[in-house]
Amino acid sequence: MFKNEYLADLYNQVVKRNPGEPEFHQAVREVLESLEPVVEARPELITKGVMAELVEPERIIKFRVPWVDDQGNVQVNRGFRVQFNSAIGPYKGGLRFHPTVYEGIIKFLGFEQIFKNALTGLPIGGGKGGSDFDPKGKSDGEVMRFCQSFMTELSKYIGADTDVPAGDIGVGAREIGYMFGQYKRLRDEFTGVLTGKGLTYGGSLARKEATGFGLCYFTEAMLNDHSDSFKGKTVVVSGSGNVAIYACQKATTLGAKVIAMSDSNGCVVDENGIDLDAVKTIKEVKRGRISEYLEYHPEAKYMEDKDGSKNIWTVPCDIALPCATQNEINEASAKALIANGVMAVCEGANMPSTPEAIAAFQEAGILFGPAKAANAGGVATSALEMSQNSMRYSWTFDEVDAKLKGIMENIYANVAKAAASYGMEGNYAAGANIAGFLKVADSMMAFGVV
């Protein structure tokens, strides 16, 4: 519920102007609600138009992506790039290839990206893109032809100093390689126009690991601040993609035992601790299903998700790391986690907890690390990849990893401080929105009405 009348009106206008886009409404509402005390203290944010400009993307690009499948049939998908806010640097944010992608999903992700990128302390603006193309079950040739067609259009709107996309759901090293190859061919230039690139053509060491590792560095900083740590804790990680795999790896290194992982069909529970080599073989090499884990460990348990259920949240744990997708923890799942004694929830995925779930965690006094802050390690390392590309130089794995750790510890400190300075100590969701927003807002104010 809004107390500030201007913000209430602004939110209603967003809903009216962007019909049928509930995820975007949800993301805007969450941010505007937590900015109420800031706007009350600084009314010029309203009179100078910053709030109204903030919720409107600078540019939306939407295009047809035609390609030919292995049977010779023409397929047509939709491509999107939302260039949301470039107040502090070139647009930066991933590309998502998933059948659920539509304009509202890309807008929600692009909006979140503005604050996340500002929190990293690096000069990057907010953007996001993608397509309703589903790479699952497609041959390499089909994925390549799709990526080439997608980049043929997208290449007109991006560049190393204007907009630098990266990966997200369904876009990993293979897809980035095909897109970079097509960009280079079309533009005849070798620049850092994409991040998450392969190591032989401008990629950064530790980028692949960065989101998952960063999530654990943030979580560890939050736990340390409460005189605790990962050591000896049981952890549940949803998903089994890029973020989930490296979160599992780092949590284990920090002394925790990860006992469950999942995909969109169900979850595996292994009380002996997840065998990450098996998961990597299934997901990174075979592109298979998490249920295949039982072929490696017949003693583990597999629970299939039916009718939208998310069984993984019924597995008792100390720490939950949602690393799959938006709104994967609803109120019922949050209550199940709380009843089973969870002490901390940190978001690896973007907006994985519904507003009701977040409220339940906060009411129960659970330590809650919001996505904007907790998963910012991926984009931060993408920005480090951009720096290395500009310098035409590469840092070692340990150098990048050390910078990532420092960035995540800083983010935690800034978020905790921002929450406390607006009287919301421990509310890291509000702290992340406020700290990210202030940096962007000050730049927008400096530019005047543009």
Helices (H), 191-274: 207-225, 242-253
User: What minimum distance in Å lies between the beta carbon of 197 and ligand NDP?
Assistant: 13
Nearest residue (beta carbon) to ligand NDP: 241
CA distance 419 to 411: 12
Considering the complex, state which of residue 51 and residue 324 has its C-beta at the smaller distance from ligand NDP.
324
Q: What tokens were used for 359? A: 């409220």
Measured CA to CA, the distance from residue 8 to residue 5 in angstroms comes to: 5
Q: Where are the alpha helices (DSSP H) in 228-280?
A: 242-253, 276-280
Q: How many Å separate Cα 8 from the centre of its chain?
A: 27
- Which one, 83 or 152, has the nearer CB to ligand NDP? 83
Long-range CB pairs of 201-204, under 8 A, 24+ apart, other chains included = 201/177, 202/385, 202/388, 202/389, 203/385, 204/381, 204/382, 204/384, 204/385, 204/388, 204/394, 204/395, 204/400
Instruction: Return d(Cα 348, Cα 369) in angstroms, integer.
Output: 9
CA 222 to chain CA centroid, Å, is 19
Least Å distance, CB 379 to ligand NDP, is: 6
Is residue 150 within 8 A of residue 76, CB to CB? The reply is no
CA distance 428 to 301: 34
Residue nearer to ligand NDP on the CB measure, 244 or 441: 244
Which C-beta is closer to ligand NDP: that of 348 or that of 436? 348
Determine which one of 128, 197, 233, 250 is catalytic: 128
Rg (CA), the chain: 21
Give the tokens for residue 193.
Answer: 């126009």
Nearer to ligand NDP, 83 or 325 (CB): 325
Residue 47 token pair: 């009179």
- Which residues, in sequence order, are CB contacts of 298 under 8 Å at separation 6+? none
Q: Which is nearer to ligand NDP, 243 or 360 (CB)?
A: 243
| Contact partners, residue 152, CB within 8 Å, separation at least 6 | 182, 186
Enter the tokens of residue 170: 């369904």
Cα gap 324→243, rounded to integer Å: 8
Contact 296, 275 (CB under 8 A): yes
Quote the tokens at residue 206: 């530790």
What are the structure tokens assigned to 339, written together? 């009843």
Give the other-Cβ count within 10 Å of 125's Cβ: 26
Kindly tell me which of 223 and 349 has the beta carbon lying closer to ligand NDP. Answer: 349
Least distance (Å) between residue 383 CB and ligand NDP = 12
Q: Is the Cβ of residue 79 or residue 239 nearer to ligand NDP in the bound state?
A: 239
Is 233 a residue of the active site?
Answer: no
For residue 241, give the 3-state DSSP assignment: coil
Q: Which residues bind ligand NDP (CB under 6 A)?
A: 167-170, 211, 239-244, 263-265, 323-325, 348-350, 375, 378
Query: Alpha-carbon distance 54 to 28, whole Å?
Result: 10
User: Residues near 292 by Cβ (< 8 Å), separated by ≥ 6?
Assistant: 282, 286
Q: Which is nearer to ligand NDP, 10 or 315 (CB)?
A: 315
Pairwise CA distance, residues 243 & 374, whole Å = 12
Residues acting as catalytic residues: 128
